[in-house]
């Protein structure tokens, strides 16, 4: 089983409108309401790719109940830890020119007691999991080292941790030596306090992560591709050029498809191509965390995979 952890889940609402301007009234052409948060987006992709997945995290209030109902509509298994606060709502407004405006609520403040209860909850799930994926921001009230502690917890019980986060949470996660990390280039530059890093410098950073005990490192450049190291092998990957419909969730699709590749013990190059195609497929859908299996083979054709 693959378990995804979303500590700050949301109801994601996407509005499509003809054009967006401030201080104006807008009528919505179409709207999508989805269970959201990066780990939930990852789980939707894993489910689509037919691997067993469990969603966990902390939820509360009417929004939390709605998130559970929406996951039920996808037939995605979930086992959340209830909290006293109200889970958040996030808006994504997209116009006819594919300009995106995101409005993200902070979410509830979790207490030390609630986080402690969740640790015990996750410990039991990790005993049944091959991989545990930590995605997204930490909730208010959680210490910046929370992911580091949770990574130690799940890996103590034999699960392999995969991490996609940023800032101080990423720094502490790296120190815990997860199985895989997937920051984007901006997130790497932020934690190393650099305005710009060359690809040669990124390779050196990836090498330092590998030397510390991290098996798989992926640094994403968005539509420009990614740099990858798994064990002793390195690649650069360039996706095909497409006119994206909605880029929210592309990184989550990549993480989900990579986890499925690891879970199914596929050859490295095969699942790197599969994961890149899944990310491209997500960009062509109106809903985050959605991939079209029938089109993935089509997107594979334009991917350039280069061994370094």
pLDDT digits (tens, 9 = 90+) for 132-153: 999 999 999 999 999 999 999 9
Q: What confidence tier does 111 reach under pLDDT thresholds 50, 70, 90?
A: very high
Q: What confidence tier does 283 reach under pLDDT thresholds 50, 70, 90?
A: confident
Instruction: Give CA–CA dist 42/185, Å, rounded.
Output: 20
**pLDDT score at 185:** 95
Classify the phi-psi angles of 59: left when phi > 0, otherwise alpha if psi is within -120 to 50, otherwise beta: beta
pLDDT (mean) for 284-308: 85
Say if residue 222 is exposed, middle or buried (CB neighbours under 10 Å; 0-12, 13-18, 19+): middle
Instruction: Give CA–CA dist 12/40, Å, rounded.
Output: 11
Contacts of 172 (CB under 8 A, 6+ apart): 144, 145, 146, 147, 148
Q: What confidence tier does 294 reach under pLDDT thresholds 50, 70, 90?
A: confident
All domains in the chain, ordered by first residue? 6-44+55-108 (3.40.1190.30), 110-176 (no CATH), 184-308 (3.40.1190.20)
The mean predicted confidence, pLDDT, of the chain is 93
Question: Which pTM does this prediction carry?
Answer: 0.92
Q: What confidence tier does 90 reach under pLDDT thresholds 50, 70, 90?
A: very high
**pLDDT score at 101:** 87
Instruction: Give CA–CA dist 245/23, Å, rounded.
Output: 25
More confident residue, 292 or 7: 7
């Amino acid at each position: 089983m693959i378990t995804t952890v979303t500590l700050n889940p949301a109801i994601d609402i996407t509005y499509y409108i003809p054009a967006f301007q401030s201080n104006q009234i807008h009528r919505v052409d179409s709207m999508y309401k989805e269970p959201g948060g990066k780990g939930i987006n990852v789980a939707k992709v894993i489910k689509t790719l037919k691997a067993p997945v469990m969603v966990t995290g902390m939820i509360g209030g009417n929004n939390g109940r709605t998130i559970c109902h929406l996951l039920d509509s996808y037939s995605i298994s979930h086992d959340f830890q209830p909290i006293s606060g109200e889970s958040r709502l996030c808006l994504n407004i997209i116009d006819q020119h594919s300009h995106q405006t995101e409005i993200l609520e902070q979410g509830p403040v979790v207490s030390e007691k609630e986080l402690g209860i969740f640790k015990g909850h996750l410990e039991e799930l990790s005993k049944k999991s091959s991989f545990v994926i930590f995605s997204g921001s930490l909730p208010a009230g959680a210490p910046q080292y929370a992911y580091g502690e949770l990574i130690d917890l799940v890996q103590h019980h034999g699960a392999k941790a995969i991490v996609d986060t940023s800032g101080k949470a990423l720094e502490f996660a790296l120190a815990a030596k997860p199985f895989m990390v997937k920051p984007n280039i901006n997130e790497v530059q932020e934690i190393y306090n650099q305005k710009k890093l060359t690809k040669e410098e990124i390779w050196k950073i990836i090498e330092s992560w590998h030397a510390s005990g991290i098996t798989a490192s992926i640094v994403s450049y968005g539509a420009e591709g990614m740099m990858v190291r798994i064990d002793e092998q390195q690649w650069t990957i360039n996706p095909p050029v497409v006119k994206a419909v909605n880029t929210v969730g592309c990184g989550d699709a990549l993480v989900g498809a990579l986890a499925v590749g690891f879970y199914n013990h596929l050859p490295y190059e095969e699942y790197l191509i599969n994961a890149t195609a899944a990310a491209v497929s997500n960009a062509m859908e109106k809903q985050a965390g959605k991939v079209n299996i029938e089109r993935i083979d089509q997107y594979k054709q334009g991917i350039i995979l280069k061994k370094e």
